[in-house]
Structure 1
Amino acid sequence: MTLANQLTLVRIVFIPLFVVVFYLPFGWAHFVSALIFSVAAITDWADGYVARKYHQSTPFGAFLDPVADKLMVVIALVLLVGLHQSPWFSAAAIVIVGREIVISALREWMAELGQRASVAVSYIGKIKTTMQMTALIVLLADIPLLLWVGYIALYGAAGLTLWSMILYLRAAWPYMRATATPEDEPEEP
């Protein structure tokens, strides 16, 4: 078990912790939940850095890291949809979660075609992730004076989410349009 994989596992362990703290009946609960989420987000950066710098990339880590990221984001959004009950907030959350499902399926399909690099993480995706994490941390903290920052970052992340999904789909489009070969045809019973 490499250090990079251990950091990813720590991130997964932090998920139920920040959920439990979020629901504690204390005034500080949301702020501490945001702190736990922040530490988990830092482990996301750290595990990638450690894996690259110390050549600790493993197939297990390549599988687990994006799973941990998506679990963290989706669970935080579910908590926040309950806290910030608004159709606009829900729409942004749906866009972000829906995009993650579409892109995960697209990456898996492209990998089967041997074209995984065609849908690699882009610069826009990194900016989107930064905005998204900023939004989630600010909104989890639930500090009234800063909520506008969280909303702007969330809507910005949702917009970049749509844009990056369009870019990924455009890159994959030639493969989607390809004609099926005889071996792709289903066998008759």
Structure 2
Amino acid sequence: MIWNLPNTLTTLRLLAAPMVAVMFLFFPRFYADWFALVLFVGAAITDWFDGYLARAWKQQTKLGAMLDPIADKAMVVIALMVIIGFSSWKASLVLPATMILFREVFVSGLREFLGDVAGTLAVTKLAKWKTTLQMIAIAVLFSQGVFEHYSATAGGLGWKLMAARWSGGVGLVLLWAAAGLTLMTGWDYFRKALPHLKETV
């Protein structure tokens, strides 16, 4: 059965990815920050549940295997686009985000080129940690917007401004750490693909 619960969760995560950006088109900033954070965190949680349930219930399908990495990449790419856009293109955010996006495009291109031997680039545990760290970093950065705009609507409460600064700083550190893991896994995939790239056409 293709449309089992794990695949449904993966599909919902994929659909949630663009909705994170859409929130900022239709709602005031404070509500958009909240909605985007809740959507992103909820979708990120399904990333664990869909794989776990698929294995536990023996409902692994080719559709799920195809949709899962696409949903992950869509979530990360769109969320980073939103965060960078509202950060006024701060270099401290743009650089790690660029590293992450470059790696994702590069590895996707490698997998597409390798075709039938793309199994050589099976997802590693380090890559799973990379994805987890990316999602945590993005969630923390979204929370910065929640604190910033909530404080503006609640009389400028000092602790919320402090929370905004801390969440921004912690989120930035986590994003750089995620970028480092991203490059490490990208190099690992390239190293594994290299023997196939040396073959003559």
TM range (shorter): 0.7 to 0.9
Structure 2 counterpart of 1:30, from 30, 33, 37: 33
In the alignment, the residues of structure 2 paired with residue 81 and residue 37 of structure 1 have an alpha-carbon distance, to the nearest angstrom, of 16
Equivalent position of 2:46 in the other structure: 43
Equivalent position of 1:159 in the other structure: 180
Q: Does 1:67 align with 2:78?
A: no
Within a 5 Å distance, the mapping from 1:78-157 to structure 2 comes to 78-84=81-87, 85-110=89-114, 112=115, 114-142=116-144, 143=147, 144=164, 145-157=166-178
Does the CA-based 8 Å contact 2:18-2:78 persist in structure 1? no
In the alignment, the residues of structure 2 paired with residue 129 and residue 11 of structure 1 have an alpha-carbon distance, to the nearest angstrom, of 14
Does the CA-based 8 Å contact 1:135-1:150 persist in structure 2? yes
RMSD of aligned residue pairs (Cα, Å): 1.6
In the alignment, the residues of structure 2 paired with residue 166 and residue 17 of structure 1 have an alpha-carbon distance, to the nearest angstrom, of 32
Deviations 1:138-183 (A, max 9, x none): 1112241311110001001111111111111111111111233xxx
Deviations 1:14-38 (A, max 9, x none): 2233223345214243133112100
In the alignment, the residues of structure 1 paired with residue 135 and residue 17 of structure 2 have an alpha-carbon distance, to the nearest angstrom, of 14
Structure 1 stretches of 5 or more lacking a match? 181-189
Letter in 2 for 1:3: L
Does the CA-based 8 Å contact 1:32-1:141 persist in structure 2? no
Moved more, 11-20 or 70-79: 11-20
In the alignment, the residues of structure 2 paired with residue 165 and residue 80 of structure 1 have an alpha-carbon distance, to the nearest angstrom, of 23
Q: Against the structure 1 CA distance between its residues 26 and 102, is the aligned structure 2 distance closer, same or farther, given a 3 Å change threshold?
A: closer
Letter in 2 for 1:25: P
Q: With structure 2 as the length reference, what TM-score do the two structures score?
A: 0.82
What percentage of aligned pairs have identical amino acids? 40
Equivalent position of 1:187 in the other structure: none
Within a 5 Å distance, the mapping from 1:167-178 to structure 2 comes to 167-178=188-199
Does the CA-based 8 Å contact 1:92-1:158 persist in structure 2? yes
Q: Secondary structure at the match of 1:27?
A: helix
In the alignment, the residues of structure 2 paired with residue 82 and residue 55 of structure 1 have an alpha-carbon distance, to the nearest angstrom, of 41
Q: Against the structure 1 CA distance between its residues 41 and 170, is the aligned structure 2 distance closer, same or farther, given a 3 Å change threshold?
A: same
Higher helix share: 2
Runs of 4+ residues over 3 Å off in structure 1: none
- Cα offset for 1:81? 0.8
Letter in 2 for 1:127: W
In the alignment, the residues of structure 1 paired with residue 18 and residue 197 of structure 2 have an alpha-carbon distance, to the nearest angstrom, of 38
Q: With structure 1 as the length reference, what TM-score do the two structures score?
A: 0.87
Moved more, 20-29 or 45-54: 20-29
Letter in 2 for 1:48: G
* Number of residue pairs the alignment of both structures matches: 178
